[in-house]
Amino acid sequence: MAGVTTRRQAATAQQEKNATTVNGNAAPVMEQENAPRDILDDLDDDEPAENIFLFYPNLIGYARIILAVASLYYMPIHPRTCTLLYSISCLLDALDGIAARAYNQSTRFGAVLDMVTDRCTTSCLLTFLASAFPRWAILFQLLISLDLASHYMHMYATLALGGSNTSHKNVDKSRSFLLNLYYTNKNVLFIACFLNEAFFVGLYLLSFSSPLLSPSLLETVPPSTAAAIHQGAQVNSSILSMIFANPYSAGALEMARANKMDSFWPWVITGVSFPVMAFKQVVNVIQLVKASRWLAEGDIEARREARRIAKRRQE
């Protein structure tokens, strides 16, 4: 009995030693791959089984995905419905972090789910903008590439060189003051992400309301074109049609034509959020450059170590 108690005490000490943060939240995570086998056996006996996929923050993440898919479903023709669904999905991004801290349910799966959802939803919106404003398509394509490349390289560098339990949000000031401020200050992070999305949402609304940006709004849709949209332009799956109202139905198309949008507020949204969007792109560039340099430093050190090992073997 004393031996069991000793091993449990050792397990507790090992768990406290390996406590770290994931996704910027103070949730303990044990490095199980480095723990002794007998410690893990005792933990399996004492600790209740947890289903990470059903943690509250991750359930919120699934809700974000459903709302994002629904917004894409309405995106081609119903800007108000799409904007509402897309905005709720983005706002829930803050709620999952609050839930993770409140219920002590921060996980690496949740952190990756959150980042992947952000990248995918923004990329889908920018893809639509590239088709809505073909003259600026290359700019939107470059923004998608920068967003994906900077976040992928930053996370890969963090995991490869900082350790598997290191959060991508743990950026030391010595490496980058701006990245440290961006990732460690929750207010800065929320405002930057929210207004960055708001800028692109504003552009999306302007594609339906501003003849200055979309001269095609001044053109009358021929009856044959309207009929083609109604009869053969549906690209949405039958599963989504069963869940959500068909945006290409006769009634929905008539409502979309009747609900003409005013461009005043979309212009206000884009004007106010533009500086923050530009700041977010600067952060992405810095993040890409810093991650590249960090990986290069790791490669140099690994090559030096390899040469040292080869030299010892020769001796």
The set of catalytic residues is 118
d(CA 287, CA 157): 11
**What is the sign of the dihedral through the CA atoms of 94, 98, 100 and 101?**
positive
Query: Tokens standing for 244?
Result: 């959500």
- Angle CA 127–68–73, to nearest 5: 70
The answer to whether 99 and 105 are in contact (CB under 8 A) is yes
Q: How far apart are CA 149 and CA 281, in angstroms?
A: 12
Phi, psi of 4 (to 5 degrees): -65, -45
> Could you give the C-alpha distances from 76 to 55, 189, 194, 204, 261, in angstroms and in order?
34, 30, 22, 10, 15
* Phi, psi dihedral angles at 231 (to 5 degrees): -95, -40
Reading the block at residue 36, the tokens are 């002794």
What are the start-end ranges of the H helices in the chain?
2-17, 37-46, 56-74, 79-102, 108-132, 137-162, 177-184, 186-209, 223-232, 238-243, 250-258, 264-314
Token pair belonging to 270: 């884009």
Rounded CA gap, 207 and 213, in Å?
7
- The candidate with the shortest Cα–Cα distance to 180, out of 167, 171, 189, 191, is 171
